[in-house]
Amino acid sequence: MAGFKARARALDMLGRQQISGIPTAISELFKNAYDAYADNVIVDYFRSDGLLILRDDGFGMTKDEFENRWLTIGTESKVKSEFGGLKDIKIPEGKTLRPVMGEKGIGRLAIAMLGSQVLILTKAQRGDKSHNYVVSFINWRLFELPGLNLEDIHIPIEEFETFPTHDQIQKIILETRTHIEKLASKIEKDALDAILEDFNTFENFNIEKRERNLQEPCKFTNDLTGTRFYVFPSNPLILDDLEDSTIDDDASNLKKMLIGFTDDVIPGHKKIPIKTHFRDYKYPEYYEDVISDTNFFTEEEFEKGEHLFAGKFNEFGQFIGKVKIFGVEQAQDYVIPWVQSKGKLTSCGPFEMVVMTTQGNFSESLLDKETHNKINDKFYKYGGMYVYKDGIRILPYGNNKHDFLDIEYRRSKHAGNYYWSYRRLLGAIRLESGINDNLKEKAGREGFQESKAFREMRDILMNFFIQTAKDFFNDKGEYSDYYVKVKSDNMKRDELIKKEEKKKKAKKDEFSKQLYEILDSIENKEHEQDCTRIVDNLNHVLLEVDATEDKEIAALKLIDAERKAFDDLYRIKSNFALSKPRGVSMGKKVEQDYVFL
What is the spatial distance between Cα 567 and Cα 335, in angstroms, rounded to a whole number?
82
CATH number at residue 441: 3.30.230
Angle subtended at Cα 397 by Cα 396 and Cα 401, rounded to the nearest 5 degrees: 75
- The DSSP symbol for 140 reads G
- Minimum mean pLDDT range among 186-195, 447-456, 586-595: 586-595
Give the pLDDT of residue 85: 45
Say if residue 153's pLDDT is above 60: yes
Q: Are residues 104 and 223 in the same domain?
A: yes
Confidence of residue 5 (pLDDT cuts 50, 70, 90): low
pLDDT of residue 505: 78
DSSP-derived secondary structure letter, 355? E
pLDDT one-digit tens code per residue, 52-104: 999 999 999 999 999 988 888 766 544 444 334 445 557 887 888 888 887 55
17 falls within a domain: yes
d(CA 388, CA 426): 13
pLDDT of 4 > 80? The answer is no
Residues 158, 28: one domain?
yes
- What's 77's DSSP letter? T
- Per residue in 214-227, pLDDT (tens digit) is 888 888 776 789 99
My answer on whether 170 and 317 are in the same domain is: no
Residue-wise pLDDT for 398-407, tens only, equals 988 889 999 9
Evaluate whether residue 286 is within a structural domain.
no
Among candidate residues 296, 288, 259, the one with its CA nearest the CA of residue 378: 296
pTM of the predicted structure, to 2 decimals: 0.84
- How close are the terminal C-alpha atoms of the chain, in Å? 104
- The three-point CA angle 448-450-454 to 5° equals 65
- Residue 561 forms part of a structural domain: yes
DSSP 273-313: S-EEEEEEEEETTEEEETT-TTTS--HHHHHT-SEEEEEEE
**Is 376 within 8 Å of 420 (Cβ atoms)?**
no
> Residue 224: inside a domain, yes or no?
yes
CA angle, residues 313, 306, 380, in degrees to nearest 5: 90
In this structure, the dihedral spanned by the alpha carbons of residues 112, 116, 119 and 124, taken in order and rounded to 10 degrees, is 0
**Taking the alpha carbons of 232, 234, 236, 238 in that order, is the dihedral positive or negative?**
negative
- Decide: 474 and 480 in contact? Cβ < 8 Å: yes
- Count of alpha carbons within 13 Å of 159, Cβ hemisphere only? 12
Calculate mean pLDDT across residues 521-535.
Answer: 74
| Cis bond upstream, residue 396 (ω within 30) | yes
Helix H or strand E encompassing 321: strand 319-325
Q: Are residues 527 and 576 in contact, defined by beta-carbon separation less than 8 angstroms?
A: yes
CA distance 62 to 69: 10
Residue 493: inside a domain = no
Q: What is the CATH number of the domain that holds 193?
A: 3.30.565
Asked if the structure places residue 289 within a domain, the reply is: no
Q: Are residues 450 and 522 in the same domain?
A: no
Same domain (yes/no): 455, 513: no
Q: Is the peptide bond before 233 cis (omega within 30 degrees of 0)?
A: yes
Question: Would residue 527 count as lying in a domain?
Answer: yes
In sequence order, the 6+-apart residues with CB closer than 8 A to the CB of 279 are 42, 43, 44, 45, 215, 287, 288, 289, 290
403 and 513 part of one domain: no
**Residue range 255-270, pLDDT digits in tens:** 999 999 999 888 888 8
Q: Are residues 384 and 236 in the same domain?
A: no
Quick one: average pLDDT of 505-510? 75
Number of CB atoms found within 10 A of residue 292's CB: 14
The secondary structure of 33-91 as a DSSP string is: HHHTT-SEEEEEEETTTTEEEEEE-S----HHHIIIIITSTT--TTSS-TTSS-TT-PP
- Per-residue pLDDT tens digits for 371-426: 999 999 999 999 999 999 999 999 999 988 889 999 999 998 887 789 999 989 99
Instruction: Give the pLDDT confidence score for residue 76 in this predicted structure.
Output: 54
Same domain assignment for residues 196 and 305: no
From 444, 479, 514, the end of a domain falls on 479
pLDDT of residue 80: 45
Flag whether 408 is in a domain. Answer: yes
Q: Looking at 227, 242, 257, which one is the last position of a domain?
A: 242
* Domain identity same for 311 and 237: no
Helix %, strand %, coil % of the chain (to 5):
45, 20, 40
H or E segment to which residue 227 belongs: strand 226-231
Examine the domain organization and report whether 432 and 571 are in the same domain.
Answer: no
Alpha carbons 537 and 557: distance in angstroms, whole number: 12
For residues 48 and 84, membership in a common domain is answered with yes
| Same domain assignment for residues 518 and 461 | no
Domain membership of residue 576 as a residue range: 505-596
Q: Total structural domains in the chain?
A: 3
pLDDT digits (tens, 9 = 90+) for 225-255: 999 999 999 999 999 999 987 777 788 999 9
Average pLDDT, the chain: 86
